[in-house]
Chains A and B, each alone.
Chain A
Amino acid sequence: MKELKQLLIMMAMVIVGITAMSMAPSSVHAATDNSLAAVQKKGTLVLATSPDYPPYEFQVNQKGKSKIVGMDVSIAKKIAKDIHVKLVIKSMTFDSLLVALETGKADMVLGGMNPTPSRRQSVDFSDIYYMGGQDFLINKADASKYPNQKSLANQKIGAQTGTLQYNLAKKYIPGVTIKGMDKGTDLVLALKTHKLEAVGMEKPTAEAYAKNDSSVIAIHSSYKLDKNSTGSAIAFRKGSDSLVAAANKSIREIKKDDLINKVYLNQAGKYLKVNTANTSMGHYWKYFAEGVEYTLIIAAVSGIIGVLLGVILALMRLANNKLLKGIAVGYIEFVRGTPLMVQVLFVYFGVGVIINLPALVSGIIAVSLNSGAYIAEIIRGGIDSVSKGQDEAAKSLGLSKTDIMRSVILPQALKNIWPALGNEFISLIKESSIVSIIGVTDLIYQLNIVRADTYRGVMPVFVAMVLYFILTFGLTRILNHFEGRMQHDS
């Protein structure tokens, strides 16, 4: 009963902590507006974007270096130049962009984003800088079957989840079945394999796909829309009036000279050609290499920290001290009871309100804290598996508790749990891929970039799959080697 009570208190403390942190941002934007001055003082304008959306923003692989380019990036550059600061680009998934803004990870967000009323509730928007219009992508073979929006009635249509295109199709096309996916590349793949009849997209994106893939074409939609739900605007943290004003000034200049159509889109088109000139996977090996590198770094560092944390938690859990035990039990139960993805988001955005941690560090912390809890349970099981007689024999020799643990119990426990620990390390390699949502350039992240850049749906997935397999298989061999070495004693 007492233990249950302690556990509940622990939980309550954790929840209070989280709530306190989630309250913090509101006090941040309650401050009077010094947003422009603040940006100018630090000398950098931080743009958050999701570079898998050509021609708005995407990554280009030029002279062995990869950089983020596109129409939105050109606009961001101009704004930075106009207020005399340097542009810094942070990449992450589309879903994370506005959170990054609210939690101070970024100063502005460009992502072909429509300033919808619901988004306006949490952020401020600049004037509309571009009216893309809405298209559908269809298979070329279906050109006569689906000449216009009306002909798509009662069909299966795809759109990115949470986007305007998704809501429009649902609302205005009679009898339609909507299939939502996260990635444009996945939608196009579904289209080409006839799981979908059409995909709703922004006009420039649809045109870019059509240009790069001869089996699909773009047709215009006939939605009647107001500017706010179809144009793109720049998002800022609430209350950044001076920064918004500065951006609007730059946007007016861009519009006056029609820079988007005359310059930016042409540049983007050229970059796209660079990307699609050679879409062989070999050409993109550097992307994959970097992905493998980051995946390994995260798994290795988190594995080591996880083991250390796991040992500490396991010893706390086995301790006689009720408080230590309660803390360990509460921690383990809490971590195991929440998804890793939520933990990653919490560390990056939630804790980020207090200390601004880079994405990689946040990712490693979250994955370490997570695996620590699982490893603690494995280790506890291992310690329990060592017979009581071992402890008694060691005690009867006068050995201290620490020496018994270190020389007698833990080595035997380690041997017993080695296979389970191996499983945990393997799953660490695979599960850590969730950090891609906060823009850590691990293998999954790079996979999505390559898919977006090359307009190839399947091949990059296959390459990533093989790479993951090589990593886990290699690790299995190494672990087996050590297991063999521990076997000499039996």
Chain B
Amino acid sequence: MTHNAVIEVKDLAKKYGKNDVLKNISEEVHDGQVICVIGPSGAGKSTFLRCLNKLESPTKGQIKFNGTEITTLSEKELSTVREKMGMVFQNFNLFPNMTVIQNLVLAPIKVKKMSSQDAEKEARSLLKRVGLEEKANAYPDSLSGGQQQRVAIARALAMNPQVMLFDEPTSALDPEMVGEVLAVMKELAEEGMTMVVVTHEMGFAKQVADEIWFMADGYIQEQGTPTEVFDHPKTDRAKDFISKIINS
């Protein structure tokens, strides 16, 4: 399987001052795989995800993307890596000074040097895909949380990425809006997108994930299929955590 690893992480560690947030992580993400990362708050899940596209610089270790070492790249060179890794944030982070369609076309035009017609055509079909065609000219602040997150997914997809990173995409949403966002993500997974998703949505993880990584105290403590991790957790930490989210 190693021959088609999209992301390879080796001996990754990250410190904030004296705080050891990530302690020696080695993992691989393969083409077409959907990985769900679970674990208690403060475990280092966000930090791990943000190291993958180098929004955070690791203190130690290597990260390869398509075989290229990215930890040593300059900010400028990173741009070509980042455009291939879409990222969706907990707080959507849409650009409030632009309309929905402007949010979608900005990077394709500026980074990929697409013509604005092509970019807009592409953007409209993506909006259709996430069910928000009619919101093209609305401003983000006039949309519901669920709609904003779907726009954010469409914006990341507009760069035609190879991998999508999701950092708790539904935790800031009202419960009734969680479903519409998960539906879009599920569809994406079914189309074969490679995805790393930090989430607490057990149902989604069980249905969609190829692998579950359980993270605590800066380590990936346990990993396996959803059945293995959710139904037969091996460590006490995992048992404890899973019983908590099932009962919540």
Whether A62 is near chain B, meaning CB under 8 Å from some CB there, is no
As a 0/1 sequence over residues 143 to 187 of chain B, the CB contacts with chain A under 8 angstroms (1 = contact) are 000000000100110010000010000000000000000000000
A393, A407, A490, most chain B CB atoms within 10 A: A393
**A392–B51 alpha-carbon span in the complex (Å):** 12
Q: What are the residues of chain A within 8 A of B85 when measuring CB–CB?
A: 396
Cβ of B91 and Cβ of A415 under 8 Å apart? no
| Selected contact of A399 from candidates B89, B97, B107, B165, CB within 8 Å | B107
B59 CB to nearest chain A CB (Å): 19
Cβ of B53 and Cβ of A397 under 8 Å apart? no
Whether B93 is near chain A, meaning CB under 8 Å from some CB there, is yes
Closest chain B residue, CB of each to CB of A408: B95
Q: What are the residues of chain B within 8 A of A488 when measuring CB–CB?
A: 139
With A397-B111, A489-B97: A389-B91 Cβ-Cβ less than 8 Å: yes
Whether A215 is near chain B, meaning CB under 8 Å from some CB there, is no
Whether B87 is near chain A, meaning CB under 8 Å from some CB there, is yes
| Selected contact of B93 from candidates A392, A415, A490, CB within 8 Å | A392
Cβ of B97 and Cβ of A411 under 8 Å apart? yes
| Selected contact of B76 from candidates A397, A400, A407, CB within 8 Å | A400
Whether B96 is near chain A, meaning CB under 8 Å from some CB there, is yes
Cβ of A393 and Cβ of B89 under 8 Å apart? yes
Q: What are the residues of chain A within 8 A of B83 when measuring CB–CB?
A: 397-398
**A399–B105 alpha-carbon span in the complex (Å):** 12
Whether B82 is near chain A, meaning CB under 8 Å from some CB there, is yes
Cβ of B96 and Cβ of A396 under 8 Å apart? no
Whether A395 is near chain B, meaning CB under 8 Å from some CB there, is yes
Cβ of A397 and Cβ of B139 under 8 Å apart? no
Within 8 A of A (CB), among B96-116: 96-98, 106-107, 110-111
B50, B96, B139, B152, most chain A CB atoms within 10 A: B96
As a 0/1 sequence over residues 230 to 258 of chain A, the CB contacts with chain B under 8 angstroms (1 = contact) are 00000000000000000000000000000
Cβ of A400 and Cβ of B139 under 8 Å apart? no
**Count of residues in A whose CB is under 8 Å from the partner chain:** 22
With A489-B141, A490-B141: A412-B107 Cβ-Cβ less than 8 Å: no
B82, B110, B140, most chain A CB atoms within 10 A: B110
Whether A403 is near chain B, meaning CB under 8 Å from some CB there, is yes
A434 CB to nearest chain B CB (Å): 37
**Count of residues in B whose CB is under 8 Å from the partner chain:** 33
Whether B240 is near chain A, meaning CB under 8 Å from some CB there, is no
Cβ of A396 and Cβ of B87 under 8 Å apart? yes
B15 CB to nearest chain A CB (Å): 20
Whether A63 is near chain B, meaning CB under 8 Å from some CB there, is no
Q: What are the residues of chain B within 8 A of A390 when measuring CB–CB?
A: 93, 95
With A396-B53, A396-B82, A400-B76: A412-B110 Cβ-Cβ less than 8 Å: no
Q: What are the residues of chain A within 8 A of B80 when measuring CB–CB?
A: 398
Grouping DSSP codes into helix (H, G, I), strand (E, B) and loop, the B interface class, with mixed when no group exceeds half, is mixed
Cβ of A400 and Cβ of B93 under 8 Å apart? no
B146 CB to nearest chain A CB (Å): 18
Whether A401 is near chain B, meaning CB under 8 Å from some CB there, is yes
The A/B interface has a contact count, at CB < 8 Å, of 78
With A389-B89, A488-B139: A396-B55 Cβ-Cβ less than 8 Å: yes
B81, B89, B98, B107, most chain A CB atoms within 10 A: B107
With A398-B159, A415-B97: A490-B139 Cβ-Cβ less than 8 Å: yes
Q: What are the residues of chain A within 8 A of B107 when measuring CB–CB?
A: 397-399
Q: What are the residues of chain B within 8 A of A393 when measuring CB–CB?
A: 87, 89, 93-95, 152
Q: What are the residues of chain A within 8 A of B140 when measuring CB–CB?
A: 489
With A489-B141, A490-B139: A399-B79 Cβ-Cβ less than 8 Å: yes
Whether B191 is near chain A, meaning CB under 8 Å from some CB there, is no
Cβ of B82 and Cβ of A395 under 8 Å apart? yes
As a 0/1 sequence over residues 385 to 420 of chain A, the CB contacts with chain B under 8 angstroms (1 = contact) are 001011011111111110100011001100100000
Q: What are the residues of chain A within 8 A of B94 when measuring CB–CB?
A: 393
B68 CB to nearest chain A CB (Å): 15
With A393-B95, A488-B139: A400-B86 Cβ-Cβ less than 8 Å: no
Whether B75 is near chain A, meaning CB under 8 Å from some CB there, is yes
Q: What are the residues of chain B within 8 A of A411 when measuring CB–CB?
A: 97
Within 8 A of B (CB), among A360-400: 387, 389-390, 392-400
With A389-B89, A395-B82, A398-B83: A490-B76 Cβ-Cβ less than 8 Å: no
As a 0/1 sequence over residues 253 to 267 of chain A, the CB contacts with chain B under 8 angstroms (1 = contact) are 000000000000000
**A389–B87 alpha-carbon span in the complex (Å):** 12
| Selected contact of A397 from candidates B91, B141, B159, B165, CB within 8 Å | B159
Within 8 A of B (CB), among A339-369: none
With A397-B82, A398-B80: A403-B96 Cβ-Cβ less than 8 Å: no
A positions within 8 Å CB-CB of B: 387, 389-390, 392-401, 403, 407-408, 411-412, 415, 488-490
Q: A396-B86, A408-B95, A412-B95 are in contact. List 16 more A-B contacts (CB 8 A).
A: A389-B89, A392-B55, A392-B87, A392-B93, A393-B94, A393-B152, A396-B53, A396-B55, A397-B155, A397-B156, A398-B79, A407-B110, A411-B97, A412-B97, A489-B139, A490-B139
B positions within 8 Å CB-CB of A: 50, 53, 55, 75-76, 79-83, 85-87, 89, 91, 93-98, 106-107, 110-111, 139-141, 152, 155-156, 159, 165
Of the A-B pairs whose beta carbons lie under 8 Å apart in the complex, a sample of 8, sorted by A's number, is A393-B95, A396-B55, A396-B85, A397-B107, A398-B111, A411-B97, A412-B97, A489-B97
